[in-house]
Amino acid sequence: MKVAVVGAGLIGQAWAIVFARGGCEVSLWDGNSRALESAVPAIARRLSDLKDYGLVSDVDEVLKKLLPTSNLADALVGSHYVQESLPEVLELKVEIFGRLDALAPGGAILASSTSGFPASAFTQGLPGCQRCLIAHPVNPPYLIPVVELCGAPWTSSAAIEGARSLMESIGQRPVVVKREIDGFILNRLQGALLQEAFWLVENGYVDAAGLDATVSEGLGLRWAFMGPFETIDLNAPSGLSDYCKRYGGMYQSFEQSTNSRKMGQGWSPELVETLNGQRRETLPSSELAERQAWRDRRLMQLMVHKQKAAHAENVTKLSPEAERGR
């Protein structure tokens, strides 16, 4: 698999690590030759950190897969997938996608890292518009696996599937966002929680440290290994619908009392059924109890992990080697 990384800033460097670590041949292009020159040593430093934690086995092996070039056509030769990470300026995106579509091999998928614009804003009218999409990483993608894939209305399902399959093959976790929406999924969820967090502080219920502890020593522990739907699905004897029956009213009442916004119609029975159906496809009712036991095991492992990590931090500023040896 040959991948072209377009733009050698922080995000481009991180993508180069992800693709090269995943076994792809990676050409790294930047129009700014100084950015390009400094990118490889910066990548080497980050790889060395990853190696200290056992997240990369051989730094040189990964570096060997990288080919920096300041010639865009060269960078694109033979590429199956292109990941663009230029600055968040719409005119730049429009221009580079025009060039990418003209220069990249016909079968190549063209993806942008942008979180600022929908794909439809910079791919409309391109001859190859159907092969363009957004593959939005979370920073840094070599540590945070989720990649949000979001096409324009004209993006082909083949392009989405190709990107999804590549991401899976290199150890990322692609999530398909089915329609264009500002912020995709991750930032919207973060925003919703922040909105409530700001409101709680503004109204004097808690301070920043207390709110943070509520997440880092509570709510966030489960969310580090299962999502919010799985969490509630495992928190009532018969799963998600059961949970909504028991606690849906409570959540709606919070929403109503949070006077910085008005509640809409809440969670309709149809919506609860849809979500419950999706959960039951993932996890049949008969396996709920077993999965709850799994959750408890994972929580115990996570607590052990957190205790070790906190202990290592507290004892002294240990080297990563010493931390791992504990």
Rounded to whole angstroms, how far apart are CA atoms 150 and 206? 37
Identified binder of a second copy from the candidate list 10, 42, 226, 236, rule CB under 8 A: 226
Binding mask 41-70 for a second copy (x = CB under 8 A): --------xx--xxx---------------
Nearest distance in Å: CB 105, a second copy:
29
Give the CB-side neighbour count of residue 268, counting CA atoms within 13 A.
Answer: 5
Of 208, 289, 315, 322, the one binding a second copy by CB under 8 A: 208
Q: Is 90 a residue that touches a second copy (CB under 8 A)? A: no
CB of 141 to a second copy, least distance (A): 10
Whichever of 34 and 178 has its CB closer to a second copy, that residue is 178
Return the beta strands (E) in the chain as ranges: 2-6, 25-29, 66-69, 81-84, 109-112, 132-137, 146-151, 173-177
Cis peptide before 87 (omega within 30 of 0): no
Only one of the segments 36-44, 73-81, 120-128, 197-205 lies at the binding site for a second copy (rule: CB under 8 A); that segment is 197-205
Binding window for a second copy (CB under 8 A); candidates: 24-32, 66-74, 99-107, 214-222 = 214-222
Question: Nearest Cα to 2, choosing from 127, 133, 158, 109?
Answer: 109
Q: What angle do CA 259, 260, 263 make, to 5 degrees?
A: 65
Q: In the set 65, 246, 291, 298, which binds a second copy (CB under 8 A)?
A: 298
- Please report whether residue 23 would count as binding a second copy according to CB under 8 A: no
**Applying CB under 8 A, does 215 fall inside the site for a second copy?**
yes
Binding letters toward a second copy, positions 153-192, x by CB under 8 A:
--------------------x-xxxxx-xxx-xxxxxxxx
Shortest CB 224 distance to a second copy, Å: 3
Min. distance of Cβ 39 from a second copy in angstroms? 19
By CB under 8 A, what part of segment 278-297 binds a second copy? 278-279, 282, 294, 296-297
Closest CA to 104 of 127, 79, 121, 128: 79
* Among positions 304, 311, 315, 322, the unique one binding a second copy when judged by CB under 8 A: 304
Stretch in the footprint of a second copy (CB under 8 A) among 4-12, 90-98, 117-125, 272-280: 272-280
> 248 with 272: CB under 8 angstroms?
yes
Distance CA 150, CA 123 (A): 13
And the tokens for 317?
């500023």
Is residue 89 at the binding interface for a second copy, with CB under 8 A as the rule?
A: no
Q: Given the complex with a second copy, which of 25 and 180 has the nearer CB atom?
A: 180
Nearest to 288 by CA among 247, 241, 250: 241
Decide if 136 contacts 115 (C-beta within 8 A): yes
Min. distance of Cβ 202 from a second copy in angstroms? Answer: 5
Residue type, 186: L
> Given phi > 0 = left and psi -120 to 50 = alpha, else beta, which region is 268?
beta
